Chains A and B, each alone.
Chain A
Amino acid sequence: MSTTLLPEDRAFDSHKSTRSREMKRYGFFPGCVAKESCKELFNSTMLLADKLGIELIELTAASCCGASVVNDVNRDVARVLNARTYAQAEALGLDDVITICSTCTGHMRAANKELLESEERMNQANSILGKFGAKYNGGVMVRHLLWLLIDDIGLDNLRSMVVRPLNGLKVAPFYGCHIIRPENVNGWESARNPHSLEDVIEALGGEAVDYAGKTRCCGFHIQLEKDNVAANMVGQNMRMAKDHGAEAVITPCPLCHLALDGYQQDSASRWGRTDLPTFHLPQLVAFALGVAPEKLGLNKHLIDPRTVMVQRDLIS
């Protein structure tokens, strides 16, 4: 099956190259969850940036991206909130905004696409931003750290930086939704046959596990809506990963992480015990690149990843 995107499926901004890339200074949007329940993600990302020799400049006055939820209330507000964030990046001379959350990536890119493709919407946003003296000129590109690793650092380079190879640890990539779908918003790789996480896992010396659940939803956004639905979605996907030999999971999204790490215990009654530890993408990369494991917040996970790391002689 073809794995590359057809030209018409490519993202609206895939032709863009940025200044940040040469300067290795990036605007950084950590998102709320990396600052609230998943602080270990934020910390690991900063430690990883040091190892990679890049500077992540946090947009500290940025607001929440609105997730998928604010759209349910009003069709414009998320777009304008994100335009405010992009204006702040531009004012700092940063044209690349890096995220570490799939949901942020998808929704911030969707907002940017709407702004760049419609003069009317850009004008609407700027007329509101104008009330407090801000303006967005359309010069920002939003990317996930995963794409930065592959596009700007490069897999060969990454491979050569590994000091603690993963010893063939069998890792199941969990893409979830918003970093790949909708394809005309993300468009960085095929949503039906992505392989960026596999490529990273292999560059780190792990073995990527293939399973159908890797591009399915974890149910995070409906965990409060009806009991057990999200837990069942997690169980279904983790069952598939486990049956294909996974020892651990890696995800680019802290929301996926909360669901996968939190709900496997609750899904065991229907799907059997899976108990797969779930790494945040930057945690595992930082580990392989030599960041001390104690600094990665691995003890914050409900399913402790250190057990399998000991089994694999990765830590003692």
Chain B
Amino acid sequence: MANIKLDIFRFDEATDTIPHRDVVEVDIPETITVLDALEHAKAEVDGSISFRRSCRSAICGSCSMNINGVTSLACKTNCKDVMDEDGSIQVDPMPNFQPMKDLVVHMDPFWDKYARLKPYLQPKDKDSDHERERRVSPDDMKKLVDVANCIMCATCYALCPVVSVDPAFAGPAAIAYAYRFIEDVRDSKRDERIAQISEDYLWLCAHCYACSYCPKHVDPNWRIVDVKRAAIKDRVLMNERGPRHALVVAKTIKQTGMLAETEVIQGTIGRFNIKGLVKITFLGAALGMRMALKGKMPPPFIKPIPKVDEVRTIFESLEVPVS
């Protein structure tokens, strides 16, 4: 009896209009990886099954796919950890990408986001000015080692809910890679890079932590926060909604101890930006009116919490920017 049943998404963009599924049974120990099971299916049962792979050890970044609906590297996922009681495992192409053939997808949008970063070092001076390599202190290097582990597998990009509704968003991997150059002391384009990634919607990250499932522990979600802090520190693109929002939240907490919703909305859109205020859905006629009718608008002013001076002491001790 076959012990693993691969339930595979099948589609060929050259010939098919809609996908179908094939169940391929393979008789192999369940301690092997999903990638091994696919290799086995391809070698023994159906040579036309297509998927990407190379290293088989979580280094090349080729084999990310949906395994029982969870995006992961097939070579890093053990069959026994994911199979159902009857041994079945569903495999599908990564979401947020156009399928090409079976588990192979068009990666172009993902690479395009990298290309826009100019993902190479741009130092101030010429290599020839240096007798030897440019030295970086261990402390400066420490900031970069985790992001340098990115294998560009696109697992995070496939998991990102913002990418799924707005393909203009740079996505987690590209922002983490931007961080890799922004925080590199040898690079000379820090602020240009921050501006570039801000234009590619750095501030559209929804803080959902879906990309915390990066198989290489790059933690793009935290690197995105680092890039935002760099933007605020360097005061790049300060008139954008994102940084204004962060600063006005900080300001209302400093003043009242609470997040004053009304002031945050006005401060983010711009109190005198009437067009912006009308356009934004939250305050725009539709939702704003609907909420007001239900008595659901936040109060216009917030009474400070007791001992709010303690909160101010915290902000001042840490020199937190609030504007």
Q: Does chain A bind chain B?
A: yes
A residues with a Cβ closer than 8 A to B are: 1-2, 32-33, 35-38, 60-64, 66-77, 80-81, 84, 128, 131-132, 134, 177-178, 181-183, 192, 212, 216-217, 219-233, 236, 262-263, 265-266, 299-302
* A133 to B212 CA separation, bound complex (whole angstroms): 38
Chain A residue contacts of B299, Cβ below 8 A: 36
CB distance from B176 to the nearest CB of A (A): 15
Q: Which residues of B contact A33 (CB under 8 A)?
A: 261
Contact in complex: A222, B261 (CB < 8 Å):
no
Cα A222 to Cα B160 in complex, Å, equals 14
Known A222-B206, A224-B269; 12 more pairs at CB < 8 Å: A1-B84, A37-B291, A37-B298, A67-B249, A128-B314, A132-B313, A181-B209, A222-B162, A224-B245, A225-B204, A227-B279, A233-B161
Which of chain A's residues have a CB closer than 8 A to the CB of B229? 72-75
A72-B246, A77-B320, A225-B203 in contact; A63/B311 too (CB < 8 A)? Answer: yes
Is B82 touching A84 in the complex (CB atoms < 8 A)? no
Q: How far is the CB of A65 from chain B (nearest CB, A)?
A: 9
Taken together as a complex, chains A and B put the C-alpha atoms of A223 and B208 apart, in Å, by 13
Map CB proximity to A onto B26-48 as digits: 1 under 8 Å, 0 otherwise.
Answer: 00000000000000000000000
Pick the 8 closest A-B CB pairs, nearest first: A217-B208, A181-B209, A232-B165, A68-B207, A72-B246, A63-B257, A36-B298, A61-B306
Assuming A77-B318, A301-B294, is B210 touching A229 (CB within 8 A)?
Answer: no
Docked complex Cα distance between A201 and B241 (Å): 39
**Residues in A whose Cβ lies below 8 Å from that of B309:** 132
Give the B interface residue count (CB, 8 A).
Answer: 73
Q: Is the CB of A302 within 8 A of B296?
A: yes
Give 26 pairs: A residue, B residue, CB < 8 Å, sorted on A: A33-B261, A35-B258, A36-B258, A38-B296, A69-B246, A70-B249, A73-B229, A77-B318, A80-B317, A128-B313, A128-B317, A131-B313, A177-B210, A181-B212, A222-B162, A222-B206, A224-B241, A225-B242, A225-B245, A226-B201, A231-B281, A232-B166, A233-B162, A233-B165, A236-B165, A263-B287
- CB-CB under 8 A for A70 and B204, given A181-B210, A301-B294: no
B204 and A302 within 8 A (CB):
no
B321: interface (CB < 8 Å): yes
- B81 contacts the other chain (CB 8 A): yes
**Chain B residue contacts of A302, Cβ below 8 A:** 290-291, 294, 296
Is A37 touching B261 in the complex (CB atoms < 8 A)? yes
Q: Which of B232, B250, B261, B305 interacts with A36 by CB under 8 Å?
A: B261
With A68-B207, A131-B317: A226-B311 Cβ-Cβ less than 8 Å = no
B195 interface residue (CB < 8 Å to A)? no
Query: Contacts of A232 on B, CB cut-off 8 Å?
Result: 165-166
- Do the beta carbons of B281 and A217 come within 8 Å of each other? no
Name which of B68, B246, B260, B297 has the most chain A CB atoms within 10 A of its CB.
Answer: B246
Complex Cα distance A66/B268, Å?
Answer: 16
Are B253 and A221 in contact (CB-based, < 8 A)?
A: no
Contact of B259 among A32, A178, A219 (CB under 8 A): A32
Complex: A38 Cα to B322 Cα, angstroms: 26
Bound-complex Cα distance A66 to B155 (A): 29
Residues of A within 8 A of B166 (CB): 226, 229, 232
With a cutoff of 8 Å between Cβ atoms, the chain B residues found around residue A212 in the complex are 69
CB of A262 within 8 A of CB of B318, answer no
- Asked whether A32 lies within 8 Å of B291 as measured between CB atoms, the reply is no
CA distance A225 to B264 in the complex (A): 12
B241 touches A225 (CB 8 A): yes
**Considering the chains assembled together, what is the distance between the CA atoms of A2 and B314 in angstroms?**
44
Footprint of A on B, CB under 8 Å? 68-70, 81-82, 84, 161-162, 164-166, 201, 203-210, 212, 221, 225, 228-229, 232, 241-243, 245-247, 249-250, 253, 257-261, 265, 268-269, 279-282, 286-287, 290-291, 294-299, 302, 305-311, 313-315, 317-318, 320-322
Q: Which residue of A lies closest to B269 (CB)?
A: A224
CA–CA, A261 to B313, complex, Å?
37
B310, A132: Cβ atoms under 8 Å? yes
- With A32-B261, A72-B228, A72-B229 given, is the CB distance from A66 to B253 under 8 Å? yes
Inter-chain contacts of A60 with B (CB < 8 A): 305-306
CB distance from B71 to the nearest CB of A (A): 10
Contact call A181/B242, Cβ cutoff below 8 A: no
Chain B residues with Cβ under 8 A from A63's Cβ? 253, 257-258, 305, 308, 311
On whether the beta carbons of B208 and A74 are closer than 8 Å, the reply is no
Q: Do residues A233 and B206 form an inter-chain contact, with CB atoms below 8 A? A: yes
CB distance A134 to B310 under 8 Å?
yes
Contact A224 B265, CB 8 Å, known A69-B246, A73-B247, A262-B291: yes
Asked whether, in the complex, the Cβ of A217 is within 8 Å of the Cβ of B204, the reply is: no
Measured in the bound complex, the distance between the Cα atoms of B246 and A72 in whole Å is: 6
Complex CA distance for A36 and B252, rounded to whole angstroms: 14
Measured CA separation A176–B164 after assembly (Å): 16
Interface centre among A1, A33, A177, A266 (most CB of B within 10 A): A1
Closest to A184 in B: B212
Q: Are A177 and B291 touching (Cβ within 8 A)? A: no
- Name A84's contact: one of B84, B286, B291, B310 (CB within 8 Å): B310
Rounded to whole angstroms, the CA-CA distance of A131 and B37 in the bound complex is 61
- Chain B residues in 8 Å Cβ range of A301: 294
Minimum CB–CB distance for A198 against chain B, Å: 16
B260: chain A residues at CB < 8 Å are: 36
Q: How far is A225 from B212 in the complex, measured between Cα atoms in Å?
A: 22
Chain B residues closer than 8 Å to A80, beta-carbon distance: 314, 317-318
Contacts of B310 in A (CB 8 A): 84, 132, 134
Contacts of B249 in A (CB 8 A): 67, 69-70, 73
Q: Shortest distance in angstroms between A92's beta carbon and chain B's nearest beta carbon?
A: 13
Write out the residue numbers on chain A whose beta carbons fall within 8 Å of the beta carbon of B246: 69-70, 72-73
> Which residues of A sit under 8 angstroms from B295, Cβ to Cβ?
300
